[in-house]
Amino acid sequence: MTTRMAMYIDESKCTACRGCQVACKQWNELEGWDYSHTVNRGSYENPFQLTPQTWTRIKFTEVDDGPMGHVQWLFLKEGCMHCGDPVCVKVCPTSALKKHEMGIVTFEKELCNGCGYCSQFCPFGIPKMEVVNQVTGDALSSKCVFCQDRTTNGLLPACVKTCPAKALDWGAWDDMVSKAQARVGELEAKGYSNAQVYGDTQIGGLGRIYVLANKPELYGLPANPQYPVLATLWQDIVQPLGGLAIAGTAVALGVNWLIARRKIHVEEEG
């Protein structure tokens, strides 16, 4: 039986050097973001969000830490969560997204039809749509794949290998959860009363096991992410009916709504 793997991310050790971002781009041969989008938005974040060419990034959050005006910087390594029960896999009509036996949510771009369901149903809003035809607006999905060409061959993800702060690790899911729990105990002993593990219970257990020094909401993470009910209805009812050409009007309306949402999402990325 293949062991489920996970990435350990200790945000209390992250220095926001963004070496992980560079390593990700280098290994996956991702292009730089269009310079027309590089503007000062009053933050050290660069880029300001995940993009089709940026699969991981460090998110900066400035928190007022008490009445004395002390500021606490919270850093979050964003990227695909590789959920234990991935909604993106469930709604993908072409099987471009698959759940690997190691727990990785893999992606095969050549199978993607650009429907955008993954980007709309993801509880964390991770997949981004890359426009491949400026005339028609056709787009393909894009996201972190845990360096599937490395990890499925026994190698570390590029970001883990390069992290100078040793804030990242890769190993068996159970081991990474245990490591995170032990680290939270250390932080609590140092006075971090809100320190906690994030990812051990959410959405079937995430492939990213975070050590947070503060509440998830302060990092921009949902405290209790939910599996979208509409995703189940779409996969189990609407799509099968569409395949049988039953309830055509309802199916068409559903498809039009999803296409419209995907186009809106693409415009938001642009």
Other residues' Cβ atoms within 10 Å of the Cβ of residue 69: 7
Domain ranges of the chain: 1-226
**Identity of the amino acid at 224:** N
* pLDDT for residue 63: 87
**Identity of the amino acid at 19:** G
Instruction: Return the closest-CA partner of residue 58 out of 92, 9, 93, 98.
Output: 9
Residues in the chain where the model's pLDDT stays below 50: 244-250, 253, 264, 267
**Identity of the amino acid at 36:** S
22: its two tokens: 């560079």
3-state DSSP assignment of residue 124: coil
* pLDDT for residue 237: 61
* pLDDT for residue 238: 59
| 201 neighbors 181 (Cβ within 8 angstroms) | no
pLDDT per residue as tens digits for the range 8-29: 999 999 999 999 999 999 999 9
**Residues in contact with 146: Cβ distance below 8 Å, sequence separation at least 6, in sequence order:** 5, 7, 80, 82, 104, 157, 207
171: its two tokens: 């190993």
CA dihedral sign of residues 158, 162, 168, 169: positive
Instruction: Return the closest-CA partner of residue 207 out of 161, 172, 256, 244.
Output: 172
Question: How would CATH label the architecture of 1-226?
Answer: 2-Layer Sandwich (3.30)
User: Which residue's entry shows tokens 């500021």?
Assistant: 71
Q: Alpha helix locations (H) across 79-238?
A: 87-91, 117-121, 148-151, 158-162, 173-189, 229-233
